[in-house]
Chain A
Amino acid sequence: MADLLIHIASVIAMLGVIVASIRFVLGPTAADRTVALDTLTIISISLIVFIALFTNRVIYLDVALVYGILSFLGVVAVARYLEGGL
């Protein structure tokens, strides 16, 4: 029962990746695409943890940790670029 629920949860998170990618392709301005990239990064952290759970290897969690630390750097750089700083 619990295994089935975890698999359903991973499939739903993958559907979220597909839906946010559509906004990335459509988005009219650079800021819209940056918001879509931010959402995709946050969903991808959960997806990497799901992959680590299914393959049962603890080393995969380090990749999710690196993404959690570094993912906001790109968004902050784009924001500084739009403001005219950087």
Chain B
Amino acid sequence: MEVIRLIGAIIALIGSLFLFLGALGVLRMPDLYNRMQAGTKSTTLGSILTLLGIGLYHTEWFWQMLVLIAFAVTTNPISSHSLARAAHWVGIPLTDKTVEDKLAEAEKQERESRREEVAP
């Protein structure tokens, strides 16, 4: 029993380290899309590990923690995906080190089709 609590505390500590590293990536990364990568993907893993560790540490709350993990996993990718699409659509610049930008070509076609819809 004591061993499970210790394992849960260690998992929660690793998860909070991931949360801190995600916040540090939000501060330090060069452009918006890299910041979004650090701020959403890393913090999702960190919150999963933190909630799972607290669920193991305080065993009566294990099922509530599973529900919280399910909501975190479901809602975080939705928000980051829609925000990344909108930011690329309004033309927020990428960093100079970017190698390839395939989304720009697809967006050009979509702008053409929207203009044809509006024109007549």
Contacts and interface: CB of A to CB of B under 8 A. Distances in A.
B106 to A, nearest CB: 15
B26 A35 contact: yes
Interface residues of A, number: 47
B78 A15 contact: no
Given A12-B17, A46-B50, A35 B83 contact: yes
Interface residues of B, number: 53
Contact of A9 (B13, B80, B85): B13
B94 interface: no
A43 B49 CA distance: 12
Given A20-B23, A45-B68, 8 more contacts: A2-B5, A9-B9, A17-B23, A36-B39, A43-B23, A46-B46, A46-B51, A65-B64
Interface of A: 1-3, 5-6, 8-10, 12-13, 15-17, 19-20, 22-23, 29, 31-32, 34-36, 38-39, 42-43, 45-46, 49-50, 53, 58, 61, 64-65, 68-69, 71-72, 75-76, 78-80, 82-83
6 contacts: A2-B2, A9-B50, A16-B19, A29-B32, A39-B22, A42-B44
Interface of B: 2, 5-6, 8-10, 12-13, 15-17, 19-20, 22-24, 26-27, 32, 35-36, 39-40, 43-44, 46-47, 50-51, 53-54, 57-58, 61, 64-65, 67-68, 71-72, 75-76, 78-80, 82-83, 85-87, 89-90, 92
